[in-house]
Amino acid sequence: MSARIDQLIAATTLDEKIAQITQVDRTAITPEEVAELGIGSILSGGGGNPEPNTPQTWRAMVDAYVDASRRSRLGIPLLYGTDAVHGHSNVVGATIFPHNLALGAAGDAELVTQIARATAVETAATGARWAFAPMVAVPQDPRWGRTFECFGQDPELVAELGAASVSGLQGPGPGIDVLACAKHFVADGGTTWGTTGGAQWVPWWVRAYGGPGWHIDQGDARIDEATLREVHLPPYLAALAEGVGSIMASYSSWNGQKVHAHRWLLTDLLKEELGFQGFVVSDYHAIDQVSADYHEAVVRCLDAGVDMVMVPFDHERFRTTVRAAVEAGDLPLERLDDAVRRILRVKEAMGLLDGTAEPLPDPSVLGAPEHRALARRAAAAGAVLLADRSAALPLPSDATVLLAGAGADDVGLACGGWTIEWAGGAGPVTPGSTIADGLAAHLGPRLVATGATAEDHRPLEGVTATIGVVVVHEHPYAEGLGDREHLALEPAQAELVRAVADRVQRLVVVVLSGRPLSLGPVTDLADAIVAAWWPGSEAAGLADVLVGAIPFSGTLPLSWPDGDLVSPSRVPDPTPPPRWLPGHGLVAGRSAMS
């Protein structure tokens, strides 16, 4: 503990202490208010972008808030946070890396560190020094809409790659370049299907999105302490050993108790038993779910061990509620001081209090060729060759190739959720290279990129080829929007596969998805099946493994179901038995399991 922090806390008024633990969405506060109040943190939630959305406008936006915080009475710089979860993925022009599930399939910790380092550089170049990453959940049920954000179902793999991500983000030195945030503590991946819900549960933005979903995300982890420690805690031990500076609490519950108000988890276990020295940040609007009585919700969460609250909108109500709670003796001042101390300790480790923070790179570094080359290499490394019954791959150098499927030439479908917008979306959402781009470069005139989709088979008319490559996909989603009971491939996409099968001698199916899908009849139609996950803005890397320029090396980071899962299910022993087990993958022609 530095004397500087003690002096700062002694000089800070009650209102300034409360402002320091307040995190506000950028749409709900101006830089002038930040300067007046001394707010401790601002965030851009998923899709919280300036208009126009460019690296330069991002930098100008973030600088305005940080500069304002330096104009506050004590001049404590604020931390600007964003979901840089697979690159600085809100920003048009940023390098979008494969989502964590693909990195789990690649299983290469050094690659993860390199990706996190590139992500840190691109994030800092926009002025933001806090990434709400890595997600270190250990998913137990692939019907969960956040499976793609996870490295896999093996706690040790998640621990290794999560720590590698923390190292890349926070930097090699003793200081912290870009603050990492291990999330969501704890057992967010261990909830049971059908347990999401509760009167005060449904936040406004869920109603805004409406539709299906929200069946297991933010649900209840009905597991004993031994399972929590064995399955869900190891990634946090590794992240703490790597010096992670922040941890985000989970929306979910443990045996019926909201984690955000769970003192044993957030304080007794995380801070006292495990010795976590950084700070715990709440999730977006999460404290409101603890009680319909906001005063009670605020007191229970802060008292349980939440240090910074992602309000994220009505910061005045939050601040006045905390003041009232302290003045009424409901919230001990010592708890507030401890929260402020933890936040200031991290800001000090980042060099923000003494002006020694790493200089910010120029925004022109976003999308740098070396970063895109890294993303392309990662896309190739994360691809898993699930089956290849007639040695259809690599594509023969003399073969004509028929390419079909919307995902073959769509950057948005290759990037998946948490890309530019919260839930992502199809289309040319950001610059990048698609599978079609990669195959065109490799195959030249031997490629017939038909542009046929599940909705329109007409481009197939009159076309035949030696080999067909059909790219099937899941439409992007985020969080509970992606909770799906049936993981079957859309029938219309299966029909496209069938239509192509009739026109070629051999057929390759490439799956763009946030998780394993039940492929049904496609499994028998295809000579080869490749799991590509959500490979990011440089999906041309998939072409590199399809043509054999890079050998397949990926293996499954979680079970691949065969048909619908029966609830309640834990992936390690799902019902029915999985089609392929973790570790499966044809690596350079032989099974990785052999």
Please select the residue that binds ligand GLC; options are 31, 38, 40, 45, rule is CB under 6 A.
Answer: 45
Q: Which of 183, 271, 484, 503 binds ligand GLC (CB under 6 A)?
A: 183
Q: Strands, E, within 250-331: which ranges?
A: 253-254, 257-258, 279-281, 309-310
Distance CA 22, CA 311 (A): 7
Question: How many alpha carbons fall within 13 Å on the CB side of residue 394?
Answer: 18
Q: Nearer Cβ to ligand GLC, position 44 or 400?
A: 44
User: Active-site residue 283, yes or no?
Assistant: yes
Query: Does residue 284 interact with ligand GLC by CB under 6 A?
Result: yes
**x/- letters, 476..515, toward ligand GLC (CB under 6 A):** ---x------------------------------------
CA distance 434 to 396: 20
Q: Is residue 83 a contact residue for ligand GLC (CB under 6 A)?
A: yes
Q: In terms of CB distance, is 338 or 479 closer to ligand GLC?
A: 479
Question: Which stretch of DSSP H or E encloses residue 385?
Answer: strand 384-388
In whole angstroms, how close is the CB of 202 to ligand GLC at the nearest point?
13
CA 363/CA 128 separation, integer angstroms: 11
Question: Considering only residues 127-166, where is the footprint of ligand GLC by CB under 6 A?
Answer: 132
Q: Which is nearer to ligand GLC, 335 or 484 (CB)?
A: 484
Q: Which residues contact 169 (CB under 8 A, 6 or more apart)?
A: 116, 117, 119, 120, 131, 133, 134, 177, 178, 179, 180
Q: C-beta of 397: minimal distance to ligand GLC in Å?
A: 44
Pull the structure tokens for residue 234.
């190891």
The DSSP bridge partners found for residue 308 are 281
C-alpha distance across the termini of the chain, in Å: 53
Name which of 5 and 158 has its Cβ closer to ligand GLC.
Answer: 158
Residue 581 CB partners (closer than 8 Å, separation 6+) = 556, 559, 560, 593
Residue 116 CA to residue 106 CA, distance in Å, equals 15
Q: What is the closest distance, in whole angstroms, from the C-beta atom of residue 81 to ligand GLC in the complex?
A: 8
Other beta carbons less than 10 A from residue 4's beta carbon: 12
Q: Under a CB-based contact definition with an 8 Å cutoff, are residues 161 and 116 in contact?
A: no
Q: Binding pattern to ligand GLC, positions 350-389, x when CB under 6 A?
A: ----------------------------------------
Select 248 or 558, whichever has its Cβ closest to ligand GLC.
Answer: 248
Q: Which of 479, 527, 538, 544 is catalytic?
A: 479
Q: How far is the CB of 420 from ligand GLC (least distance, A)?
A: 14
Nearest CB to ligand GLC, comparing residues 26 and 335 = 26
What 3-state DSSP class applies to 159? helix
| Helix ranges (DSSP H) in 255-409 | 263, 294-304, 315-327, 333-349, 369-382
Residues that bind ligand GLC (rule: CB under 6 A) add up to a total of 8
- 479 given a catalytic annotation: yes
Q: Tell me the C-alpha distance between 184 and 156, whole Å.
A: 17
Q: What angle do CA 49, 54, 55 make, to 5 degrees?
A: 100
Q: Of 205 and 273, which has the nearer Cβ to ligand GLC?
A: 205
Q: To the nearest whole angstrom, how small is the minimum distance from the Cβ of residue 286 to ligand GLC?
A: 8
Question: Which residue among 283, 338, 474, 527 is the active-site one?
Answer: 283
Contact between 46 and ligand GLC (CB under 6 A)?
Answer: yes
Check binding of 283 to ligand GLC (CB under 6 A): yes
Shortest Å distance, C-beta 368 to ligand GLC: 25
Catalytic amino acids?
283, 479
**Positions in the binding site for ligand GLC (CB under 6 A):** 45-46, 83, 132, 183, 283-284, 479
